[in-house]
Structure 1
Amino acid sequence: MTRVVVAGDVHLGSSNANADAFNGFLDWIYRTRDDVAELVLLGDVWDLVRRDPFGCAWETHDTIMRLKRLGEHLPVRIVLGNHDTYLRTLDASLYDVNFSDHHVVHQRDHSIRFCHGHAFDGFQFDRLSKRLSGPGDRGEIDPTNGLKDPVVAMARASVRAGTNRVRSLYTAVTRGARFEPVRYPRRERRAHAYLDTVPEDKLVYGHTHAPYVHQDNLAANPGSWKSTAPVHNTYLVIEAGHIELYRYRRDGDDEPIE
């Protein structure tokens, strides 16, 4: 029983959150609970930016009950994210839930730090998040009707492509060397650099909704459960310090992602 399962950025309460798939994922963990050491949720499980917390909890009662059932058999860790406004004010001792800004797991010769990751995102502005999250009550939290995620993804891709072109030109002019494109976007590189400031040797974070595992298995992001994300319903499994990425499938075996 050494496997740690990691998911994040479900954004329950949002109209484009794949709640049914996430509930199926929790049911799968419950069925295989004897093989799971703990479940780590990397924040933004609920979309609570300018949202009525009671209404969101009422609408997601099925998920809450699944998490409660799981918590009776294995540790369920919830790392707080930038959308977890109201969860920060809860008295966790009254609800028997483990809330924290980060979590650390030791496996074999590795120590792994878990956090949400919004501190690494140069595009993260609280005022902008609130503006894009609508007026608040009864699910009205995305006035863009699901267009926000793909538009933001395209904007980030354009910025990255432009940065690569500038660096390519700069390298050709100043060094005359062949340019190697940057493998990871700036927000991922900032996360990787964060490892130099903490005692842990691996980092697992969320927030960006972009699932990946670092080529050297030093960092990873489980992705999101929002249907508007290009790749969604993904999660991580960590065993003996090794991180692997999967996509959840309700029918058939889950799909490993390289």
Structure 2
Amino acid sequence: MKYDIIAFSDVHLGIHVKKEQEYCKWGAFLKIMHLWKEDITDAAAFCEFVKALSEEPPKNLVILGDLLEFWRKTNHEVLCRNHKVLKALFSLNCKIYYVVGNHDYLIYELAQKYKKNFQKGGDIEFCKDIRLMSGREYIFFTHGYDLDVQINYEMMGIEMYESFAAVQCRATNSLGGLVSTLWNGKTWLTLNFHKLWRKISIVCGISDKNHKDEDDMIKNITISGLAHLFCGAQPGDLLVFGHTHRPFIDHDHVVANTGSWCEDIESLCKERVQGITHTGSLCEDIDPKDNNEVKYNNRTYVTINNGIMELKTFVKGKPL
């Protein structure tokens, strides 16, 4: 089937298996303290996904941000390590919209600098968001960091956050990792303060004990039908975003999160200890024959045809 649109996000090319080894050595404490939030990219599966796209290209492909991991790796290292799959991706026979995320925000800055070379109507467009049509429906695509900032970091503002993201994209490996750890440390302090206050407020009867975390707050806004107030969509638009790495599609199929192509390191290490093989996780003990027998919470993407959205999981050898 030739889809009108296929959208995916949060591949984070550049994070590789060494991160898993580092975590298994000493990362447990940091993970417990919520200071270690690294995932590793399911790069092998993503290569197969690009190959499948080349065989069944959609009319429009939306790369919904964080394709590249520029925060924790040097830009040169990310591009050189993944040059084959990137060349294949950008050679697909379809219109490509690259909607930047916070971890590859540098791409948008460069596109703006050289925008005379990236005129609309070409095979690829670089943007912060895009509004496309399928059937009689308009669909608004955004990475989702804008929603995160507007909902969870109101005092920072979107302009300040984008400046921070751009600086992070230019950081070296060590500096980027340090700043990310400090950012996660700030998040840890904030979350634990909120947890303490929540417990006090619940006891005092001034707060709902079912209060959601930050990602749930983003989901709640998007399915409320009011996300257009925060992200520039039009009322009535279908909405597709990423960023949270939590794939979902609402009951009415009007809001979808594309999920990610990353695997949580903590889960991987537990699986290794328990002797579980998990195809596509970049572990050395993968058995390729098990590829079609394992269910994943990553490898997700969204398809749209005639205005109907579906959330799907990629499985090698099966149609998109």
TM-score range with shorter-chain normalisation? 0.7 to 0.9
Q: CA contact under 8 A between 1:49 and 1:85: conserved in structure 2?
A: no
CA distance in 1, matches of 2:135, 2:317: 33
Q: Distance in 2 between matches of 1:253 and 1:18?
A: 19
Q: Secondary structure at the match of 2:59?
A: strand
How far apart, in 2, do the equivalents of 1:93 and 1:246 lie? 36
CA distance in 2 between partners of 1:93 and 1:75 (Å):
18
Structure 2 counterpart of 1:175: none
TM-score relative to the length of structure 1: 0.73
More helix, by proportion: 2
CA distance in 2, matches of 1:23, 1:201: 31
Match of 1:240 in 2: 306
Give the secondary-structure state (helix, strand or coil) at the position aligned to 2:90.
helix
Change in CA separation of 1:249 and 1:2 when aligned onto 2, cut-off 3 Å: closer
- Structure 2 counterpart SS, 1:227: strand
Match of 1:216 among 252, 271, 275: 252
1:1-258 → structure 2 map (5 Å cutoff): 1-15=2-16, 16-33=40-57, 36-49=58-71, 51-70=73-92, 73-88=93-108, 89-90=110-111, 91=114, 94=117, 97-121=124-148, 122-123=151-152, 136-137=172-173, 166=202, 185-192=216-223, 193-195=226-228, 198-199=233-234, 200-228=236-264, 231-252=297-318
- Say how many residue pairs are matched: 232
Partners of 1:247 and 1:93 in 2: how far apart?
A: 37
Q: TM-score, normalised by structure 2?
A: 0.60
Q: CA contact under 8 A between 2:102 and 2:165: conserved in structure 1?
A: no
Q: Deviations over 1:228-252 (max 9, x none)?
A: 1882110011111111111111244
Q: Shift in Å at residue 65 of structure 1? A: 1.0
Structure 1 segments (4+ residues) deviating >4 Å: 92-96, 122-130, 139-145, 169-172, 179-182, 251-254
Per the alignment, in what secondary structure is the counterpart of residue 238 of structure 1? strand
Which runs of no fewer than 5 residues in structure 1 stay unpaired? Answer: 173-178
Q: CA deviation at 1:14?
A: 1.2
Provide the C-alpha distance between the structure 1 equivalents of 2:126 and 2:89, rounded to a whole number of angstroms.
13
Preserved contact between residue 53 and residue 86 of structure 1 (Cα < 8 Å): no
Fraction of identical pairs, as percent: 22
Question: Deviation of residue 56 (structure 1)?
Answer: 1.2
2: distance between equivalents of 1:115 and 1:97?
Answer: 16
**Root mean square deviation, CA, Å:** 3.9
The 1:50–1:19 alpha-carbon spacing in structure 2 relative to 1, beyond 3 Å, is closer
Tell me: CA distance 1:181–1:214, structure 2 relative to 1, closer, same or farther (3 Å): farther
Give 1 or 2 for the bigger CA radius of gyration.
Answer: 2
**What's the counterpart of residue 19 of structure 2?**
none
Q: Match of 2:79, SS?
A: helix
Q: What is the one-letter code of the residue matched to 2:140?
A: R
Q: Distance in 2 between matches of 1:235 and 1:47?
A: 19
